[in-house]
Amino acid sequence: MIDKNAIVHPNAEIEEGVSIGAFSVVEQGVKIGSNTKIESHVIIRENTTIGADNHIYQFCSIGEGPQYVGLEGDPTSLVIGDRNVVREYCTLNSGTPVGGGVTQIGSDNFLMAYVHIAHDCQLGNHTVFANCASLAGHVEVGDHVIMGGFTLVHQFCRVGAHSITGIGSVCLKDVPPFIVAAGNTASPFGINVKGLRRRGFSSDQIQLLKWAYRQIFRSGLDVSVVVKRLEERLDECVHIQLFIDFLKSSKRGIIR
């Protein structure tokens, strides 16, 4: 199922059921899992690993070298999980030696047209990136995150699980889990109630997450005091642990 006009290196590992469209290029060292569909005019650079049942649309650049000043040509890689949809003109870069060498994309993600994932980023599972959302280098994105169109995330920032950003958001600091963030620069606008309900969170759990949100963003208390308050109510809602872990590990600080 490889088009006669595609260029596939003989050392590339192509599993059963893979289709590759016309004028696509697959370089050496590439691994593509079963039933993945590569449309026409896609470039997949060496040392890229793509899992099963993915669909990569035309004119995407997959595994291209990082846009990193001072890069010396050391081999790095891009690893993509299963069942991802990557729409037209997306650019997914490989890692850098100083950032661990690997850009990692999980499974069941939907990247709309013109999305950019820079070097050393780490994406979870079940995320949605609307058109032109872009991550600078070393960004971490948790599971079930939704990025609004034209969202920009500064390098080394983290975006917590179950959060959502509004269109045109500019995130210069960490976005905690469960929240709605919007604006330039991004500010918090409450809990992502609709998204949590869709994922089966109960009303009681959502109410406790709202309480946790108020402690973090409206109490005016020091982070260490807020963490202690959250820990006191862990037995009522285990999901509060995500808030606690995120606050304890934040290096850039959170949006305000």
Total residues found in the chain within this entry: 256
Looking at the structure, give the CATH architecture of the domain made up of residues 196-249: Up-down Bundle (1.20)
Q: What is the mean pLDDT of residues 151-176?
A: 98
> What is the tens place of the pLDDT at every residue in 80-125?
999 999 999 999 999 999 899 999 999 999 999 999 999 999 999 9
Catalytic one of 21, 99, 120, 166: 120
Is 120 labeled as catalytic in the residue annotation? yes
In 3D space, the residue among 113, 119, 117, 145 whose CA is nearest the CA of residue 132 turns out to be 113
Options 21, 51, 63, 137, the catalytic residue: 137
Predicted TM-score (pTM) of the model is 0.96
For the residues of 85-139, what is the DSSP string, one character each? Answer: EE-TT-EEE---GGGTSEEEE-SS-EE-TT-EE-TT-EE-SS-EE-TT-EE-TT-
Query: pLDDT averaged over the chain?
Result: 97
Mean pLDDT of 190-217: 97
The pairing of strands 179-182 and 187-191 is antiparallel
* Cα gap 129→246, rounded to integer Å: 21
What is residue 22's three-state secondary structure? Answer: coil
Domain boundaries, the chain: 7-138, 196-249
| Catalytic residue, candidates 33, 81, 106, 119 | 119
Which class does domain 7-138 fall in? mainly beta
Tell me, yes or no, if 195 is annotated catalytic.
Answer: no
Decide if 124 is catalytic: no
Over the stretch 176-198, which tens digit does the pLDDT of each residue have?
A: 999 999 999 999 999 999 999 99
